[in-house]
Amino acid sequence: MGEQHQVQFPQEVVDEYAALGVDLPALFSAGHLGTRMGVQILEASADRVVGTMPVEGNTQPYGLLHGGASAVLAETLGSVGSMLHGGSSKIAVGVDLNCTHHRGVRSGLVTGVATPVHRGRTTATYEIVITDEEDRRVCTARLTCLLRDADLAAAAQGGTAG
């Protein structure tokens, strides 16, 4: 869970943020909460964001993956996609999150894949499908983010997407 790895971003996105002096992997990380929960972002573009989270340490009293943990993974991935869609002049702020939990998971790693449903000038909506290690759907989530104009340098110092 403590492994560090580099998120793969499209080169043009890396170049855009580097020109502004922004550490892109830090800006689009899972943040402090995601770090505590073991969220790892594996792939990130406006078209698709993929991340994983361990079940261990993120369970409710019955030993199942906590629904709130699935919500954290979903909001993290959808927020990263929304920020990448908005570009360097916007920040994404989650305004609506809906999660439907389909099955319980007791161990292993879950994987979330966020894909866009709507990408506009002021909002972005992503569907996030979370699956277990046997590729069975655990949760389906939908996140809508407001895209606000922002000073990216201040945003980079103050936190991450979500």
Q: Do residues 74 and 111 lie in contact, with contact meaning Cβ atoms separated by under 8 Å?
A: no
With a CB cutoff of 8 Å and minimum separation 6, the contacts of 101 are 67, 70, 138, 139
**Residues annotated as catalytic (active site), given as ranges:** 75
Nearest alpha carbon to residue 70 among 47, 104, 27, 42: 104
One-letter identity of residue 62: Y
**DSSP letter at 103?**
-
Whether the CA torsion 78, 115, 68, 95 is positive or negative: it is positive
Q: How far apart (Å, rounded) are the C-alpha atoms in residues 82 and 94? A: 9
CB 66 within 8 A of CB 59: yes
